[in-house]
Amino acid sequence: MKAFGTVHKYGDNVDTDVIIPARYLNSSDPKELAAKCMVDIDKDFVDRVKPGDIMVANKNFGCGSSREHAPIAIKASGISCVIAETFARIFYRNAINIGLPIIECPEAAREIEAGDQVEIDFDSGMIYDRTKGTRYQGQAFPEFMQKIIKAEGLVNYINNQ
Amino acid sequence: MGMTMTQKILAAHAGLEQVSAGQLIEADLDLVLGNDVTAPVAIHEMEKMKIKKVFDKDKIALVPDHFTPNKDIKSAEHCKCVREFAMDQDITNYFEIGEMGIEHALLPEKGLVVAGDVVIGADSHTCTYGALGAFSTGVGSTDMAAGMATGKAWFKVPSALKFVLTGKPASWVSGKDVILHIIGMIGVDGALYKSMEFVGDGISNLTMDDRFAMANMAIEAGAKNGIFPVDELAVQYMKEHSTKEYKVYEADGDAKYDEVYEIDLSSLKLTVAFPHLPENTRTIDKVGDIKIDQVVIGSCTNGRIDDLRIAAKVLEGRRVAKGVRVIVFPATQNIYLQAMEEGLLATFIKAGAVVSTPTCGPCLGGHMGILAAGERAVATTNRNFVGRMGHVESEVYLASPAVAAASAVTGRISGPEELGL
Ligand code: SF4
């Protein structure tokens, strides 16, 4: 499985309140959530984002509340993968559980810039920045989690058991 | 190798003799929690599963507290979804308006969590119950769905940071100041993926409500959980509130910690977290002149009876500054009633504050006290992210009930000392 797209870049501590503000949590419809994704820190994100695009951020991405609406909004906006130095732990779980691929790779997260064309190979964890011609080895998912991702989320994983 | 307190609880619930940091385990759950924001998503996910009945109707807690009393039609639909599920599944611990409260204040009060339990909740502040010596952690809705269906959850066994607390806090200094100090010291990702284990003689100088406030904000340092030893005070609390059997776990003497911090509680001052991160802390003598528009006293961090007593002590016989709105929201119906019986509510109202029914309300910018552009609030809540209480250009300063109440009187961020207290 591979992803390829343009990078949207953010800094440290992108919290779930800016990924999807609480005032929109009276909906759980992925499309409605995607329409408000990142609105508080990046108003034009929803207009710019194209299917397959990649989100890159620095440390502690997704900190704050446990709202699964956050990874749902990102996934529904068309983002194919999030790369960060580190992820907040609930966001990490949620992303895996709903089948949004995420990769921890501090080097890539720091060096890749907004607008770069980036390719990711999920099987090997390899990240390739086509714009810069640089390669990074991202953290591969533990086997346990790969199974959940392959089943496209925890629900199917449980159903398959 | 020795295990931390958290690791011991997890090992016991995974049926293992020994676990170590980094290990993936599947643990049995004693309680699964959800609210009106997260439960509808979980219920929808559970509908997709082949398992149609919850694993144990007594081990699920559903608490609509975020947008209740229903803020708008969409919120009402969510609450209806939760209510119908609760009725259909015959959930014992579903708390409707009238008996509800903010989930993390309500569950310990109802005796639903005790020492030694493993609890997951689809709410990040589920870590609050660590004050009772339980392992509890926030998860998302899909985890909640899986938990409700199977009674199990997967965990990566965390490593831990140890905080050795000694000494007695000065007057007005509370658990909130201690945890803000710690977050200021280690940062909002200082405990990422880890447990925060609090130990030391100083704990005996912290009330249960202090400890709840501290465990509550472990997530604000990125922690998986925060946990306290089970001392006499904790046992007394559990005996008063619960009939459930509790189990005391203690860390092994040779347990390994990533880091050990020594904190002398007597050296701490009142502490305020500036926008827009809980780690931006300053002690009260360094806050400068910050004028405020609103004060919020409540939430799962500081909406308990001790918190209201402290706020009332400061507001007694005083008036809220002109132009400042003060909103007090007791965290549960019981706390509300107790505050009424003790005359605290009268003190608030006479001072010029409003008292709201228990709800999360403005804590997450939901309703009942939203900020306009450029407005500032002092809040006893736990998060001050951009836009957390309203407009993206509004600001939230996190503080203890004592500081919030004193600020209400002066109209700028102040400690009670400024009022001669
Ligand atoms: S009071 Fe605030 S932090 Fe606590 S559960 Fe409610 S919204 Fe979350």
Exposure string (b/e) for A91-123, b if CB count within 10 Å is 16 or more?
bbbbbbbbbbbbbbbbebbeebeeebebebebe
When pLDDT is cut at 50, 70 and 90, the band that residue A141 belongs to is low
Residue pair B307/B380 in contact (Cβ under 8 Å)? The answer is yes
Q: Identify whether the C-beta of residue B202 lies closer than 8 Å to the C-beta of residue B96.
A: no
Rounded to two decimals, what is the model's pTM? 0.93
- pLDDT, position A146: 73
Please report which confidence band the pLDDT of residue A150 belongs to, taking 50, 70 and 90 as the band edges. Answer: confident
List the structure tokens of B323.
Answer: 């132009």
Segment B83-124, tens digit of pLDDT: 999 999 999 999 999 999 999 999 999 999 999 999 999 999
Token pair, residue B368, equals 């009942």
pLDDT confidence tier of residue B418, bands split at 50, 70 and 90 = very high
Q: Which amino acid is at B3?
A: M
Joined together, the tokens standing for residue A122 give 């999920």
Helix (H, G, I), strand (E, B) or coil at B187: coil
Mean pLDDT computed over every residue of chain A: 92
pLDDT tens digits, residue range B257-272? 999 999 999 999 999 9
Q: Closest partner residue to A40 among B51, B66, B386, by Cβ?
A: B386
pLDDT of residue B75: 96
Mean per-residue pLDDT of chain B: 97
A161 pLDDT above the threshold of 90: no
Percentage of chain A surpassing pLDDT 90?
A: 70
Indicate if the pLDDT at residue A142 is higher than 70: no
| pLDDT tens, residue by residue, B62-82 | 999 999 999 999 999 999 999
Instruction: Note the pLDDT tens digit of each residue in A85-126.
Output: 999 999 999 998 998 989 999 999 999 999 999 999 888 889
pLDDT reported for residue B59: 98
Closest residue in B to A58 (Cα) is: B189
Where are the alpha helices (H) located in A77-120, listed in sequence order? 89-98, 106-111
- The string of pLDDT tens digits covering residues A72-89 is 999 999 999 999 999 999
Residue A138, pLDDT > 80, answer yes
* Predicted confidence (pLDDT) at residue A149 exceeds the cutoff of 90: no
Stretch (H or E) spanning A6: strand A2-9
Going by DSSP bridges, is the β-strand pair B118-121/B31-35 parallel, antiparallel, or unpaired? parallel
- Mean pLDDT computed over B354-364: 97
Point out the residue among A17, A142, A158 whose CB comes nearest to the CB of B387. Answer: A17
Q: What is the pLDDT of residues B297-310, one digit of tens each?
A: 999 999 999 999 99
B249: nearest Cα among B300, B301, B195: B195
A81-84 vs B93-94, strand pairing mode: unpaired
Q: Compute the average pLDDT of residues B231-237.
A: 98
ipTM of the complex: 0.88
Per-residue pLDDT, A2: 85
Render pLDDT for B377-411 as a digit per residue (tens, 0 to 9): 999 999 999 999 999 999 999 999 999 999 999 99
Residues in A whose CB is inside 8 Å of some CB of B read: 13, 15, 17-18, 21-23, 25-28, 40-41, 59-60, 63-69, 71, 86, 88-90, 93-94, 97-98, 142, 144, 153-155, 158-159
With a 6 Å cutoff on the Cβ, whether B125 touches ligand 1 is yes
pLDDT on residue A1: 75
CA B241–ligand 1 middle distance (angstroms):
22
Reading the block at residue B103, the tokens are 């989930």
